[in-house]
Structure 1
Amino acid sequence: MREYLLTILVAALVTYLLTPAVRRFAVWFGAQAAPRDRDVHTIPTPRLGGLAMFGGLVGALIVAAGLPAFRKVLAAGDVNVGRAMLLSGGLIVLVGIADDRWGVDALTKFAGQVAAAGIFIMQGIQLYQLPMPNGEPLALPPAYGVPLTVFVVVATINAVNFIDGLDGLAAGVVGIAASALFSYAYLLSYTNGLTKLTPATLTAAILVGICAGFLPHNFNPARIFMGDTGSMLIGLLLSAATIMLTGQFDPAVIGSYAQFPFWMPILLVPAVALVPFLDMLLAVWRRTNQGRSPFAPDKQHLHHRLLELGHSHRRAVLIMYFWVGLIASSLVGLSVTNSVPLVSSVTLVVAVLGVVVMIAAPRVRRRTPRHAAGPAAPAQRPHQPV
């Protein structure tokens, strides 16, 4: 665990320290987000925060390569996770920089995402098997494993990209998802006496670190946006951890009493990414139903609807954190314990309380000033400069 904590700390620290320099570079480079009708920010804000995140990734990999325990993990067997993350991450960052500065059409970004998935496959990060109801894994030949791997990578990248609409939202949601993946892999390895040093767990740890390091600069009011440079990068890393975790645990080793953990890799990421995936599917359905391109922007995402309900910017983000965290923690709990009724009951109670608070909070906020404040002060004319 100490090696993982060191890796997370380095990734977070490097990302945090690099972000102010990247912000100044983005202003000089002209990569700033001008306010649009569908945006919630009102002043031009620098993009390219993903550059600092990529720096955190590089720093964490350098430190991990210097640790004897992780040196073997980075190039374990047929999977070279270090080279895969650097090459595919570097490619996706270059595409993101071009989009954040000059704007890139959707087809070009899609081609870059497919190319990044291709690098994963060439470095050994690929779906080789899927769990089946009988507990036996289904081997996937390249004719099925390759396109399925590409689909997982592209879908995850675009799901993260779709939710990147509020300050701190994407970094927080992906950080929670990565924490769930890390907890699942580490706890399951620990409880079953398996090796805890794996490429998937290392990837999830690095992702937790870079999200944590960037979030202080990106939380409302954001001083910098991650841009497509960052959203595509963290989506890429999230997909890598998912793919490597799928089929990692042998049900024969885990035991017949616990078939549910064997299904977790294929269920966990869609579950913890339920909010961005649902938002993406609703957006595609809504736009195509209106006769528009599925990539056409609008202001009807889930986070926009929370703002319309009366929640503040920060509260809307925290609500999204809550739901993602609840789903993630519930699934991780189900994977490491046999108390299914207890986990389900606690989840249900917390979910009901969350719905009540989400609906009632805006009403209480609107009523409080009228009761707490005294008589309304007479309106004052705005100050006129002399």
Structure 2
Amino acid sequence: MTPKDAILGFAVAFLVAVVMTPVTARVARVVGAIDRPKDRGLAAGGTPLLGGLAMLAGILVSAAFYLHSTPRTEDRVHGILWGAVVIAVVGALDDRFELHPAAKLAGQIVAAVIPVHAGVEVVNITLPFVGALQFHSLGSVLTVVGLVAVMNVVNLSDGIDGLAAGVCAIAATVFAIIAFDLERRHAGVLAALTAGAALGFLVHNFHPASVFMGDCGSNLLGLMLGCIAVEGAVKTQAVLALVFPLLVLAVPFLDTTFVVLKRMKYGRPVWQADANHLHHRFNRIGFSQRRSVLYLYAWTMTLGAFAVALRFVPYSDNHGHFNTGWSLVMAALGLVVLAASVYLVVVLEILKVKRLVWMRHASGHDEAAVDAEVEQALATGEFPAVRLD
């Protein structure tokens, strides 16, 4: 397999997803898989789900033409694709019948076990200055846990038009670049197919969305990205193998971590949905859906570009010796990424909250009251939406 296979596979997956998404939307309306209005949601409700089935079709059709596995990778590739089918079916059932959280978790575990049983497993990782860390028999269990975690991270981040599809498309594109450089060509093509399918669906899902991917799609993308990360980077001997997935998926990981910790802090079930995700908070300070999602796209691109730079910039010989000039370049890039992250989280959220609260107290300029209200808003993640009219 070559980069040409990845590019053609991307294109076919994109076209199939574009064509099939309206079809799955009609099917969703017929079977009653419709998103209902929710207090926590940003959508008006009444939008068909099951868009993930269109992405699955794009991945499978494209894989049939452009994913040429070798005897060494055939079982793992088939395991990933069968796992994708299983999780898409489980997600579709959840979209239609709202499965109990335990039943949905069981379905995720089954879908994750399929590729792991086929060999998609992390048996060791190479840490900087430490060397290889062996997992032995725990490798399969840890991999299943990791895949289920990624599925839920993507699922929890899917709360605004175009967000999950766009972020996952960016992430898959970055994984494809890194996987090909690491000579993990099957993972590179899988990543390209996933990116194409996600972008094809995004044509219909960008605000105002005519269809949602539902749990069917978010779990599918989570499983695909998790398996691609294992096959494309984590399973190699690259020193920074574990860093690549963490950087590329940092936005949904950070968002989910924040939300879960907040729920734990206030004694809420971690699986119980609320309106404390980044996109909800941006909406409450006056950002439109499009502006919110474009900022999050930009953040993901920044992190993805840094992950690519870590792989291609020759700042180290991978034996503990660093090139001063290129190391300074990487440090500068790291500062840019850090500044972008701080800008997004602090300037766009915390400082704007304080400015808006200050406006509410403008008549008395009571700074202590402003600080108290801001502290409460940041602690609970709840503050009144800003009306620009």
TM-score after normalising by structure 1: 0.82
Q: Which residue of 2 aligns with 1:214?
A: 201
Shift of 1:248: 4.8
Q: Does 1:21 align with 2:23?
A: yes
Residue deviations 1:89-126 (CA, integer Å, cap 9, x gap): 11101111111001011111111111111101221111
CA distance, structure 2, for counterparts of residue 12 and residue 353 of structure 1: 30
CA distance, structure 1, for counterparts of residue 138 and residue 184 of structure 2: 29
Query: How large is the RMSD of aligned CA atoms in angstroms?
Result: 2.3
**How is 1:286-305 mapped onto 2 (pairs within 5 angstroms)?**
286-305=262-281
Shift of 1:354: 7.6
CA distance, structure 2, for counterparts of residue 45 and residue 112 of structure 1: 25
Corresponding letter in the other structure for 1:238: L
Identity in percent: 34
CA distance, structure 2, for counterparts of residue 350 and residue 277 of structure 1: 16
Residue deviations 1:31-54 (CA, integer Å, cap 9, x gap): 110111111111410000000011
Corresponding letter in the other structure for 2:177: S
CA distance, structure 2, for counterparts of residue 246 and residue 360 of structure 1: 33
Q: Does 1:146 align with 2:133?
A: no
**How is 1:202-241 mapped onto 2 (pairs within 5 angstroms)?**
202-241=189-228
CA distance, structure 2, for counterparts of residue 79 and residue 125 of structure 1: 11
8 Å CA contact 1:81–1:199 kept in 2: the answer is no
Q: Assess, with a 3 A threshold, how the Cα gap between structure 1 residues 135 and 217 changes in structure 2: closer, same or farther.
A: same
Judge which range, 153-162 or 241-250, deviates more: 241-250
8 Å CA contact 1:15–1:56 kept in 2: the answer is yes
CA distance, structure 2, for counterparts of residue 180 and residue 264 of structure 1: 15
Q: Assess, with a 3 A threshold, how the Cα gap between structure 1 residues 247 and 229 changes in structure 2: closer, same or farther.
A: closer
Residue deviations 1:312-371 (CA, integer Å, cap 9, x gap): 1101001111111111111210211122322332453476478668947998xxxxxxxx
Corresponding letter in the other structure for 1:268: F
Q: Assess, with a 3 A threshold, how the Cα gap between structure 1 residues 19 and 304 changes in structure 2: closer, same or farther.
A: same
Matched position secondary structure for 2:63: helix
Q: Which residue of 1 aligns with 2:358?
A: none
Q: Does 1:243 align with 2:237?
A: no
CA distance, structure 2, for counterparts of residue 292 and residue 360 of structure 1: 27
Corresponding letter in the other structure for 1:296: Q
Number of aligned residue pairs: 338
**How is 1:68-83 mapped onto 2 (pairs within 5 angstroms)?**
70-71=67-68, 74-77=69-72, 79-83=74-78
8 Å CA contact 1:175–1:208 kept in 2: the answer is yes
- The partner residue of 2:88 within 71, 76, 93 is 93
Q: Assess, with a 3 A threshold, how the Cα gap between structure 1 residues 99 and 8 changes in structure 2: closer, same or farther.
A: same
TM-score after normalising by structure 2: 0.81
Q: Does 1:284 align with 2:260?
A: yes
Q: Does 1:102 align with 2:78?
A: no
5+ residue gaps in structure 2? 316-325, 353-389
Matched position secondary structure for 1:300: coil
Q: Does 1:306 align with 2:293?
A: no
Matched position secondary structure for 2:217: helix
CA distance, structure 1, for counterparts of residue 36 and residue 226 of structure 2: 30
CA distance, structure 1, for counterparts of residue 337 and residue 240 of structure 2: 22
Q: Which residue of 2 aligns with 1:376?
A: none
**How is 1:187-198 mapped onto 2 (pairs within 5 angstroms)?**
188-189=181-182, 196=183, 198=185
Q: Does 1:44 align with 2:72?
A: no
Q: Which residue of 1 aligns with 2:293?
A: 317
8 Å CA contact 1:79–1:125 kept in 2: the answer is no
8 Å CA contact 1:130–1:246 kept in 2: the answer is no
Q: Assess, with a 3 A threshold, how the Cα gap between structure 1 residues 136 and 315 changes in structure 2: closer, same or farther.
A: same
5+ residue gaps in structure 1? 65-69, 190-195, 251-261, 364-386
8 Å CA contact 2:84–2:111 kept in 1: the answer is yes
8 Å CA contact 1:220–1:313 kept in 2: the answer is yes
CA distance, structure 2, for counterparts of residue 332 and residue 343 of structure 1: 11
Q: Which residue of 2 aligns with 1:178?
A: 172
